Amino acid sequence: MRPEDRFVERLRQALSGRDEVVVGPGDDGAVVFSPGGPLVVTTDALVENVDFLPGEDPGRLGRRAVSVGLSDLAAMGAWPDFFLLTIGFPESASEELPLALALSAAKRGEEFGASLVGGDLSRSPEIFLSVAVWGRPCGEVVRRAGARPGDVVFLSGWPGEAAAGLAVARARAGGDRSAGGAGWTPEQLAVPDETRLLAAYRDPEPRLPLGRALAREALATAAIDVSDGLGVDAGRLARASSVRLVLESENLPISPALAAFAELAGRDAVEMALAGGDDYELLFTTPPDRAGRFSDPPPEWGASVRRVGRVESGDGAFLEEERGLRPIDDLGFDHFGVVR
Amino acid sequence: MRPEDRFVERLRQALSGRDEVVVGPGDDGAVVFSPGGPLVVTTDALVENVDFLPGEDPGRLGRRAVSVGLSDLAAMGAWPDFFLLTIGFPESASEELPLALALSAAKRGEEFGASLVGGDLSRSPEIFLSVAVWGRPCGEVVRRAGARPGDVVFLSGWPGEAAAGLAVARARAGGDRSAGGAGWTPEQLAVPDETRLLAAYRDPEPRLPLGRALAREALATAAIDVSDGLGVDAGRLARASSVRLVLESENLPISPALAAFAELAGRDAVEMALAGGDDYELLFTTPPDRAGRFSDPPPEWGASVRRVGRVESGDGAFLEEERGLRPIDDLGFDHFGVVR
């Protein structure tokens, strides 16, 4: 078990469960009973130099912080109502910085009907944003636990593009020695590819319409949003469900833009798709008799959805390659150790 | 208007108000309608070197972060249900640090029936904690707006003790040059005084039972929790209510411990009470015909309550001294400028 997951496990064991808490720490969000029905709540933080590069446009940052928080709700099959925003910002900044952060966050929330209702400001050496979002399930709450052997594994979007976008942003900022050393520059990418990769990193799209469909139509037995890396998050879903998740190498969606970047930078596109992180796509499992629903996803879901693997009895997450099964549950970002 | 308040004002003007949002940014917490009734939500962050000293015991920090969040709910006359906790912690720390923070936070919440249901972890150069709490009003929500000319002003507890406790903690940590320069050491304080001041700073008591009584018995026309300083927070209540708040110098509660510290350190106890901050006491206004309720507060309120002033028509917050009225709405901490 990875340090971050071990932390959550130790915390869960130490906490006394209350009846009103349907899902506590360890899922994408928490679900609590309230007199008016279940609430789904979640919180996410972005920290300068950890989750984003210094000098990032505040208008982008506030938007991204909200998108990241909403992605957790999407994975639970919930729709947001309102959110709180905490901003830490350095003494050197004027009030324009937190205002730009807050306004871009508020605007992003409004796109999904989620109001910014309050927050807190604090001085801090680095910029950080912490978003807490509340919403309601659109049907039965979708959890990480629930996948069953025989289920089909689906993934939205194009994993690894965000990681490539981060590498491009770093190279553009002149901060990536490895880029210089590898002898590539972002200018060597076709403009549409570079634009697409940067957007994947800087402006992820919370898969709320897809998550809503999963909950409303009871299409998913389990789901997780891919934030730390497809491999590690597949491993989390597998562990929560007590099953084995097998991703099939030939079905892993590798976008042309990612392939172009990988070739330019001398990286392995599949490894980037598995370990990249920051994707904010939904990985979910579906009973075989419902899998047909995804052969032609309606446009209002707003995302491509692709069958990427299968659920078996056993444990762990694996990539099935020509030479056999390779464990992937360690491929990704861990807030306790691996530096992105 | 102070920069922090101007920020909130600009943000409020830019946000489109939704009917479900009863109280948005600018009060101690937000109030939103949910199908089961109103929810009161609030968030607060503590940042190392800004809100606490480096090396602080994590068991104390987690507890304090929750207390600070609960204090906002107390000021609204609400009782907490659940909270989320985001922790930023440095790479050098093991998982024991966030675990100690989270467990002490969870334990503090449980004292008031508030469960820790989720959170987020992130690497960060400095430790920070962000708590998002939600609960339900115990009666009519108490806001900063609502004070009327003729109302009586009450304050719980002993303002300025926390500021003195911070000075003592700094001197103990050897980090306060002014303490050395002024030629005092914490050892010169009587042990009970030092203990009391340190506790006021490190372990504030959220005034939830008092806040509940204010809401249940409709005793307060307006309330605020004193977090940035009695002066500035009195000014905020006055502005929100469009009234003048007059604190009466002779009725300002100065504890013997604060008086002893002020004498030792060559500081003015009244100035510390007005500008200190971190008090987490409730400042509230009461119609004159209800003021008698506070002549002998029941022990279950858990706090001393003292009449400290009056509400008049006009604006601003003032201290009435022998020589006349002195504006105090600028006395306190501002996250945009003044360094504590």
Could B34 and A36 be called an inter-chain contact, meaning their C-beta atoms sit closer than 8 Å?
A: yes
**Measured between beta carbons, which residues in chain B are less than 8 angstroms from residue A99?**
7, 10-11
A81 touches B at CB < 8 Å: yes
Give burial (CB, 10 Å; 0-12/13-18/19+) of B93: middle
CB contacts, 8 Å: B336 with chain A: 95, 121
User: What digits encode the pLDDT tens for the residues B67-110?
Assistant: 999 999 999 999 999 999 999 999 888 889 999 999 999 999 99
Find residues 135-174 of chain B whose CB sits inside 8 Å of chain A: none
Helix B161-172 / helix B256-265 crossing angle, nearest 10 deg: 50
Q: From residue A42, give the alpha-carbon distance in Å to each of A79, A253, B89.
A: 12, 28, 19
pLDDT at B6: 83
Query: Is the dihedral angle over the CA atoms A186, A191, A193, A197 positive or is it negative?
Result: positive
| Tokens read off for B227 | 């977090």
With a CB-CB cutoff of 8 Å, which residues 35-54 of chain A face chain B?
35-37, 39, 41-47, 49-51
CA distance B316 to B309: 13
Instruction: List all residues of chain A from 224 to 283 with a beta carbon under 8 Å from chain B.
Output: none
Chain B residues touching A125 at Cβ < 8 A: 49, 125-126
Which residues in chain B touch residue A32, judged by CB atoms under 8 angstroms apart? 81-82, 115, 117
Contact B240/B283 with Cβ under 8 angstroms?
Answer: no
| Alpha-carbon distance B167 to nearest alpha carbon in chain A (angstroms) | 20
pLDDT band at A339 (very low <50, low <70, confident <90, very high): very low
In terms of Cβ atoms closer than 10 Å to its own Cβ (0-12, 13-18, 19+), residue A306 is middle
Judge whether residue A267 has pLDDT over 50: yes
Which chain B residue shows the shortest CA-CA distance from A93?
B336
pLDDT band at A20 (very low <50, low <70, confident <90, very high): confident
Tell me which residues of chain B have a pLDDT lower than 50.
338-340
Query: A–B: how many Cβ contacts below 8 A?
Result: 206
Tokens of B199: 């506790």
Residue A114 Cα, gap to closest chain B Cα (Å): 10
For residue A220, give the 3-state DSSP assignment.
coil
Closest CA to A70 of A22, A29, A120: A29
Pairing outcome for strands B128-137 and B30-34: unpaired
| Nearest to B327, CA basis, from B235, B260, B249, B237 | B235
Q: From CA B66, how far away is CA A285, in angstroms rounded?
A: 37
Name the residue among B37, B116, B121 with its Cβ closest to that of A15: B116
DSSP classification of residue A49:
T
Rounded to 5 degrees, what are φ and ψ at B243? -135, 175
B50: left (phi over 0), alpha (psi -120 to 50) or beta: alpha
Q: Which helix (H) or strand (E) holds A223?
A: strand A222-226
Phi, psi at A102, each rounded to 5°:
-65, -40
Indicate the helix (H) or strand (E) that contains A146: none
CA gap A200, A90 in Å, rounded: 27
Report the SS3 class of residue A68. Answer: helix
pLDDT greater at residue A172 or residue A164: A164
Q: Count CA atoms within 13 Å of residue B164 on its CB side.
A: 36
Which residues in chain A touch residue B91, judged by CB atoms under 8 angstroms apart? 339
B127 contacts chain A (CB < 8 A): no
First to last CA, chain B: 19
**Could you tell me if B106 lies within 8 Å of chain A, comparing CB atoms?**
yes
CA R_g for chain A? 19
What 3-state class would DSSP assign to A60? helix
CB distance A154 to A301 below 8 Å: no
User: What integer best gives the mean pLDDT of chain A?
Assistant: 91
Which of B86, B130, B225 to mutate to test binding with chain A, by most A CBs within 10 Å of its CB? B130
Q: What's phi and psi for B322, nearest 5 deg?
A: -55, -40
* Span A109-141, pLDDT tens digits: 999 999 999 999 898 999 999 999 999 999 999
d(C-alpha A206, C-alpha B137), whole Å: 32
For residues B156 and B204, the answer to whether their CB atoms sit within 8 Å is no
Min Cα separation A242/chain B (Å)? 21
Please state the three-class secondary structure of chain B as a single string: CCHHHHHHHHHHHHCCCCCCEEECECECCEEEEECCEEEEEEEEEEEECCCECCCCCHHHHHHHHHHHHHHHHHHHCEEEEEEEEEEEECCCCCCHHHHHHHHHHHHHHHHCCCEEEEEEEEECCCCEEEEEEEEEECCCCCCCCCCCCCCEEEEECCCCHHHHHHHHHHHHCCCCHHHHHHCCCHHHCCHHHHHHHHHHHHCCCCCHHHHHHHHHCCCCCEEEEECCCHHHHHHHHHHHHCCEEEEEHHHCCCCHHHHHHHHHHCCCHHHHHHHCCCCCEEEEEECHHHHHHHCCCCHHHCCCEEEEEEEECCCEEEEEECCEEEECCCCCCCCCCCCC
Q: Which chain B residues touch A1 with a CB distance below 8 Å? A: none
> Which residue has 């203990």 as its token pair?
B195
Instruction: Tell me which residue in A7, A39, A122 faces B121 most closely, judged by beta carbons.
Output: A7
Higher per-residue pLDDT: A183 or B107: B107
Contact B60, B104 (CB under 8 A): yes
Chain B CB contacts of A336 below 8 Å: 95, 121
Nearest to B16 by CA among A221, A310, A114: A114
Is the minimum CB–CB distance between A66 and chain B shorter than 8 Å? Answer: no
Q: Please report the ipTM that was assigned to this predicted complex.
A: 0.89
Burial of B293 (0-12, 13-18, 19+ CB in 10 A): middle
> Any residues with CB less than 8 A from the CB of B9 and at least 6 apart, and which?
B1, B26
Shortest Cα distance, chain A CAs vs residue B311, angstroms: 27
H/E stretch holding A41: strand A37-47
A122 and B51: CB-CB below 8 Å?
yes
Beta strands A78-89 and A115-123, pairing class: parallel
Given this model, what pLDDT does residue A183 score? Answer: 82
B102 in reach of chain A (CB within 8 A):
yes
- Contact between residue A335 and residue B121 where contact means Cβ atoms under 8 Å apart: yes
Q: Could you count the other beta carbons within 10 Å of the beta carbon of residue B277? A: 27
Distance in angstroms (rounded) separating the CA atoms of residues A117 and A85: 8
Name which of A252, A260, A259 is nearest A281 in CA terms: A252
Element containing residue A173 per DSSP (H, E): none
Pairwise CB contact (< 8 Å): A335 & B43 = no
Q: DSSP H helical segments within chain A, as ranges?
A: 3-14, 58-76, 96-111, 161-172, 177-182, 191-202, 208-216, 230-241, 256-265, 269-275
Sort strands B316-321 and B244-248 into parallel, antiparallel or unpaired.
parallel
**Side-chain half-sphere of A104: how many Cα atoms within 13 Å?**
18
Q: Which residue has the higher pLDDT, A88 or A175?
A: A88
In this predicted structure, what is the pLDDT of residue A336?
58
Q: What is the pLDDT, as a whole number, of residue B29?
A: 86
Query: In this complex, do A130 and B130 lie within 8 Å of one another by their Cβ atoms?
Result: yes
